[in-house]
Amino acid sequence: MLDVLDRLTVDWTDLDRATAVTDALLHELAADKDALRMLVDRPAEDDDLLAQCECHRLLDKIVLYDGLDRGFRVRLHISTSDHLDRPHDHRFSFSSLILAGSYKQVRHRIVGEVPDSVAPGIQEDHQAVPIEARVEPEFATTERVGSFYSIHHSVIHTTIMEDDTVSLFIRGPAEKERSLITDRDTGKLWWRYGAKGESPERRAQKVMDLSKFEMRRRKLEVLGIT
Amino acid sequence: MRAHFAEEIDWSDPEQVLDTAGASLCDLAADSALFLEAIDELSVEQLEPTLGGGGAYWFRLAESDEDDLSIWIRFCPTGCVAPPHTHRSEILALVVSGTFKQTLIGLGGGVDSPDHPIELFVRHERPGQVFALNRRQKHETSSTAGSLILAAMPVTTVAGLADSSPEVIDDELKTKAETAIRRLQRDAKEILGGRSSDGRVRSLI
């Protein structure tokens, strides 16, 4: 599998073509448990990969392979027990294949203008500021084991997951400096940046050290993923 | 039908549609005897099927004015490709068999969104996937030959679903529709099994 990944290039300028490539790759990887286990073991031996793994409030991200110079990075996502309705976009386009659990996914349209004037330092939910724009659902589905989709970075969507939902995830390169996130209950907005744009406090909160990584690795075994 | 759809559906919000009726639609599809009987009773004369853009046939199985609910099946006897279109009503759909690729098209709304409609989502729907969309959501779809979708819509839906001027089946297309029905009836028995029901569908349509 590493040979395949080492040769792969993904062009996200054509979402349809990127989908064809990532569909084949993610399904092949999901069907090859030995390969998946080998990739999940890598961050324990590779400090660069471990440094890219992150703990978030709604999910944990384990980086399996970094080929971002060729247009992709492969991750496993494991949802936590926090489930909040937070419409957001991403800095990159991506594809996802659900391996365990399920979740509701809603695609929203924005009604009104998202103000560009919200300060870059607003990066935490407790700092969020109210905005007049709101979201309206246009498409909703229930993702379950085997569901697969690709999504453009500009899409505003919500995913409300069951505990321990696991997704095999492949992202493209960042296409913008920041993305937005809102809370549907409060109507407030804050920003999300890549690692280089985040405050030291924010970075510190997300760190997945080796002991946290090992807990996630064991959880994947218990869930039957590896 | 009431037994399956106990809650009132707010068709204005696809998320609410999914929440209140998604499981019910799955239950209905799982009631293979009822589903098979409905398909067995299909006829061109009775149901005025429509031929949607791309070659999919839509058959109305049942409806209830009181519940503002109609139940349809969408069948593609051959592979179907429907160019970008919206629908005349909100739809809740369940892929029963075959595969169904859909690309959602529109304005993303997030940071640095292009100012023109683009491909937002590319989805490879497989049997068991259930989704709801509203009338604004444009999508492009392609279905494999023999693919079958069970759908629910408001009862106010008129025959013909897509904004690409679906074709009401006239005499010229009647033969094709009858062939599609025979194919559907044959395929459905393979997909859903051969059990028979107790004539419940007759009273619903």
Query: Considering the domain B14-194 in this protein, what is its CATH number?
Result: 2.60.120.10
Inter-chain touch A107–B18, beta carbons under 8 Å = no
* The pLDDT of residue B187 is above 90: no
pLDDT in tens, B108-124: 999 999 999 999 999 99
ipTM above 0.90, yes or no: yes
Per-residue confidence (pLDDT) for residue B143, from 0 to 100: 93
For the beta carbon of residue A36, count every other beta carbon within 10 angstroms. 20
**DSSP H/E element including B25:** helix B14-30
* A208 has pLDDT over 50: yes
Q: Does A29 touch chain B (CB under 8 A)?
A: no
B124/A148 CB distance under 8 A:
yes
pLDDT for residue A124 = 87
Residue B170 has pLDDT above 70, yes or no: no
Q: Where are the domains of chain A?
A: 2-222
3-state SS class at A116: coil
pLDDT of B128 over the 60 cut: yes
Q: How confident is the model at residue B158 (pLDDT cuts 50, 70, 90)?
A: low
Q: What pLDDT, on a 0 to 100 scale, did the predictor assign at position B180?
A: 77
In degrees rounded to 5, what are phi and psi of residue B194? -105, 15
pTM: 0.89
Q: Do A151 and B120 touch (CB under 8 A)?
A: yes
Tell me the residues of chain B between 34 and 73 that have a Cβ less than 8 Å away from chain A. none
Select the residue from A15, A26, A152 to test the B interface by mutation, using most B Cβ atoms within 10 A.
A152
d(CA B168, CA B60): 13
- Residue A149 to residue B121, Cβ atoms within 8 A: yes
* pLDDT tier for residue B57 given thresholds of 50, 70 and 90: confident
Question: Who among B104, B119, B122 is closest to A107 (CB)?
Answer: B104
- What is the token pair recorded at B40? 């067995």
How would DSSP label each residue in B98-163?
A: S-EEEEEEE--BSTT--SS-EEEEEEEE-TT-EEEE-TT-EEEEEE-TTEEEEEEE-TTPPS--BS
Each residue's pLDDT tens digit, A80-89: 988 889 999 9
- What architecture does CATH give domain A2-222? Sandwich (2.60)
Give pLDDT tens digits for A159-169.
999 999 999 99
Domain spans of chain B, in order of start: 14-194
B131 touches chain A (CB under 8 A): yes
pLDDT band at B174 (very low <50, low <70, confident <90, very high): confident
Check residue B56 and give its pLDDT.
Answer: 85
- Residue in B with minimal Cα distance to A109: B109
pLDDT at B164 over 50: no
Three-class secondary structure of residue B94 per DSSP? strand
